[in-house]
C-alpha cells in the first residue's frame, strides 16, 4: 500500500508540474487581459508585460485577439498551442520574447483548426520557432530573430507541415537553422513574399535559408525576397521533394553571398525560376562542395524553366547533374516563357570560368542568353559539355542573346493570361478593377507611378479562379498616370490608369 501511495503521489506531482491552461472551447473571443483573469496564474501581468508561465492552449472554436501594442515574455520550454484562432495585429508593434533570454521558450504552434490566425507587426525572438500543422495562417511585417534553442519542437524558425501559409514582408535573421522549412515528404505550398532573410543557420549546419520539400497542388511561391548569407555552410534556397512539386515559382529574388544560390533535387517537379539576381554565392569557396548559382540534380521528371535571371560571380553559374534537363532557352516553342534571356557570366573557380556545367549525358537547351560576350568561341570556352568530355551531352547555346537585352537590367517576360479592365478610367475618386484569373491562387495587385515606384499595395491575398474585383481609392494619390500590375501564380497583367482631380 505504501508503494501504491508513493506512485500515486509521484503521478500527481508530475501532473501538477506540467499543468497548463486551456481556454473553455465555447466560442469565446478574448484578449490577453481575459487570459490573465481566467488562466489561474499561467498568464500574469506586471510592469507593462504579460508573463506566460506555463503552456497555454487556445481551444478549438475560441479566438484570442491582440490589437494593442504589447510585450509578452514566455518561461523556459513553454509554448502557446493554437487550435482555435490567434490574431496578433497590434497598432504599432508587439514583442514575444523570453523571460530569461538564456533559458529560451519553445514558441507558437498552430494546429489544424487555426486557419485565419494572424501574426503581424511583432518581434518573435529568443525561442525555438513557429510551427504550422495542417493550417494556413498569415505572418506579415514581423521580425523573427535569435531563435537558437535546439529542440525537437521545430527545426526551423518557421516550420511548415501541410501548410500553405503566407509569409510576407518580414525580417528573418540569425536563427539556429533555416529561416523557413518543411519536411521533404510533407506537401506544403507557402507564399514567401518580400521578406528580408539573412544570416540564418548560426550553427553553420549544411542547410539553406529556405528549405522546402514536396508541395501541395497550389503554387509554391517564393517572390521578391532578399536572401543573404554569412555562415559558410548555409545555402540560399533548396527544393528537395520526396514526392512531387506540381508547380513552384521562384521569381524576382536577390540571392547573394550564400554557399549556393538555388538547389533543386529529385524529380516529379515543375519549377519556373525567373527574374532573380543570383550573385556571388561563393562564401564557402570550395567548388567540389558547392558554389553554384543554380544546381539541378535529379531525374528527367524534374521539369524546370530558367529565364530572365542574372547569374554572376558564383563559383559555378548553372550546374546540371543526374538526368535533370532544365530549359534555359528554347526558341522553337511558341511560348515566351522559356525564351532564355538570362545573363550568365563571370562565374569562376580554380582560375577558370564555368558559366554552365552540363554533367549529364543529355543535350540541354540554353538559347538566347547573354554570356558576357558576343564572341561565340569565348562562350564555348565558358561552357563545359560534350566538346570537353565525350560522355556528356551538348549544350545548345546558339543563338546568343545581347547585352542590351540583359546585362544588369533584366526584362521579365511572363504570359499575360489574366483578363483585366478598370472602370471608370480616367477616375476620381475611385475605380473598380475587374480581373479574371485562369486559376485560383495567391494574388498580388500593386500600383506603380510612372517612375516604376510601387505607391500602393491594392491587394495581397488568395483569390479564386474566375471573376474578381477590387476597388482603388484615389485618396492620397496625386493626379497623373499610374500602372496597375496583377500577378497570380505564373500569370501576370499590367493596365494603365489615369487619376484626374
pLDDT tens digits, 424-447: 999 999 999 999 888 788 888 999
Q: Which of 255, 193, 262, 263 is nearest to 226 (CA)?
A: 255
Domain boundaries, the chain: 272-414, 419-499
82: its cell numbers: 493554437
Average pLDDT of 287-301? Answer: 94
CATH of 419-499, one of 3.40.50.1000, 3.40.1740.10, 1.20.1740.10, 2.60.40.3080: 2.60.40.3080
Of 424, 419, 416, which is closest to residue 472 (Cα–Cα)? Answer: 424
1-46 pLDDT, tens digit each = 333 333 333 333 333 334 589 999 999 999 999 999 999 999 999 9
> Would you tell me how many other CB atoms lie within 10 Å of the CB of residue 103?
12
Contact (CB, 8 A) for 270 and 303: yes
Across 357-363, average pLDDT: 96
**Three-class secondary structure of residue 162 per DSSP:** coil
Strand partners, 473: 430
Q: Supply 351's cell numbers.
A: 582560375
3 state DSSP class of 475? coil
453: Cβ–Cβ under 8 A, 6 or more apart, which residues?
Answer: none
Q: Nearest 5°: CA angle at 449, between 443 and 455? A: 60
Q: What's the confidence (pLDDT) of residue 400?
A: 92
Separation in Å, CA 42 to CA 6, 20, 31: 28, 7, 15
Question: Among 455, 468, 458, 453, which Cα is nearest to 418's?
Answer: 468
Rounded to whole angstroms, the Cα distance separating 80 from 402 reads 55
Structure confidence at residue 492 as a pLDDT band (50, 70, 90): confident
- Assigned C-alpha cell, 83: 487550435
- Cα–Cα dist 294/302, whole Å: 14
User: Which of 181, 179, 231, 172 shows the shortest CA–CA distance to 202?
Assistant: 231
Q: What is the DSSP letter of 219?
A: P
Residue 100 predicted with pLDDT over 90: yes
d(CA 198, CA 194): 13
Residue 333: band (very low, low, confident or very high) from pLDDT cuts 50, 70, 90: confident
**Of 389, 400, 414, the residue nearest 367 (C-alpha):** 400
Question: Are the C-beta atoms of residues 364 and 394 closer than 8 Å to each other?
Answer: yes
Amino acid at each position: 500500500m505504501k508503494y501504491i501511495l508513493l506512485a500515486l503521489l509521484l503521478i500527481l506531482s508530475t501532473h501538477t508540474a506540467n499543468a497548463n491552461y486551456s481556454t473553455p472551447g465555447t466560442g469565446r473571443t478574448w484578449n490577453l487581459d481575459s487570459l490573465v483573469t481566467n488562466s489561474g496564474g499561467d498568464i500574469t501581468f506586471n510592469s507593462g508585460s504579460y508573463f506566460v508561465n506555463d503552456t497555454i492552449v487556445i481551444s478549438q472554436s475560441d479566438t484570442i485577439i491582440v490589437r494593442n501594442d504589447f510585450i509578452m515574455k514566455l518561461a523556459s520550454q513553454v509554448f502557446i498551442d493554437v487550435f482555435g484562432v490567434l490574431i496578433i495585429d497590434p497598432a504599432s508593434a508587439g514583442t514575444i520574447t523570453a523571460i530569461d533570454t538564456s533559458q529560451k521558450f519553445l514558441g507558437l504552434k498552430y494546429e489544424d483548426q487555426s486557419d485565419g490566425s494572424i501574426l503581424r507587426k511583432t518581434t518573435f525572438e529568443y525561442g525555438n520557432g513557429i510551427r504550422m500543422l495542417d493550417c494556413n495562417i498569415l505572418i506579415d511585417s514581423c521580425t523573427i530573430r535569435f531563435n537558437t534553442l535546439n529542440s525537437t519542437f521545430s527545426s526551423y524558425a518557421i516550420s511548415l507541415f501541410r501548410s500553405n501559409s503566407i509569409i510576407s514582408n518580414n525580417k528573418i535573421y540569425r536563427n539556429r537553422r533555416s529561416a523557413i522549412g518543411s519536411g521533404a515528404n510533407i506537401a506544403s505550398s507557402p507564399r514567401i513574399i518580400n521578406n528580408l532573410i539573412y544570416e540564418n543557420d548560426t550553427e553553420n549546419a549544411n542547410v539553406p535559408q529556405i528549405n522546402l520539400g514536396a508541395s501541395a497542388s497550389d503554387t509554391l511561391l517564393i517572390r521578391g525576397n532578399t536572401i543573404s548569407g554569412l555562415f559558410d555552410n548555409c545555402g540560399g534556397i533548396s527544393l528537395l521533394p520526396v514526392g512531387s512539386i506540381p508547380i513552384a515559382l521562384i521569381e524576382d529574388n536577390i540571392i547573394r553571398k550564400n554557399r549556393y544560390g538555388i538547389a533543386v533535387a529529385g524529380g516529379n517537379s515543375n519549377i519556373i525560376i525567373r527574374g532573380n539576381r543570383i550573385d556571388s554565392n561563393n562564401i564557402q569557396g570550395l567548388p567540389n562542395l558547392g558554389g553554384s548559382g543554380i544546381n539541378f540534380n535529379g531525374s528527367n521528371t524534374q521539369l524546370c524553366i530558367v529565364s530572365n535571371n542574372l547569374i554572376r560571380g558564383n563559383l559555378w553559374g548553372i550546374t546540371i547533374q543526374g538526368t535533370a534537363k532544365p530549359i534555359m532557352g528554347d526558341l522553337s516553342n511558341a511560348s515566351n516563357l522559356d525564351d532564355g534571356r538570362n545573363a550568365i557570366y563571370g562565374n569562376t573557380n580554380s582560375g577558370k570560368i564555368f558559366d554552365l556545367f552540363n554533367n549529364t549525358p543529355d543535350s540541354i537547351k540554353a538559347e538566347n542568353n547573354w554570356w558576357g560576350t558576343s564572341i561565340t568561341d569565348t562562350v564555348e570556352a565558358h561552357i563545359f559539355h560534350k566538346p570537353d568530355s565525350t560522355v556528356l551531352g551538348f549544350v545548345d547555346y546558339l543563338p546568343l542573346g545581347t547585352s542590351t537585352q540583359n546585362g544588369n537590367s533584366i526584362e521579365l517576360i511572363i504570359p499575360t493570361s489574366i483578363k483585366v479592365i478598370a472602370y471608370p478610367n480616367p477616375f476620381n475618386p475611385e475605380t473598380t478593377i475587374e480581373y479574371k484569373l485562369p486559376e485560383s491562387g495567391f494574388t498580388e495587385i500593386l500600383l506603380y507611378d510612372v517612375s516604376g515606384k510601387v505607391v500602393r499595395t491594392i491587394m495581397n491575398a488568395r483569390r479564386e479562379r474566375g471573376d474578381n474585383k477590387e476597388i482603388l481609392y484615389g485618396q492620397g494619390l496625386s493626379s497623373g498616370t499610374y500602372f496597375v500590375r496583377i500577378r497570380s501564380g505564373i500569370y501576370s497583367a499590367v493596365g494603365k490608369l489615369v487619376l484626374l482631380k
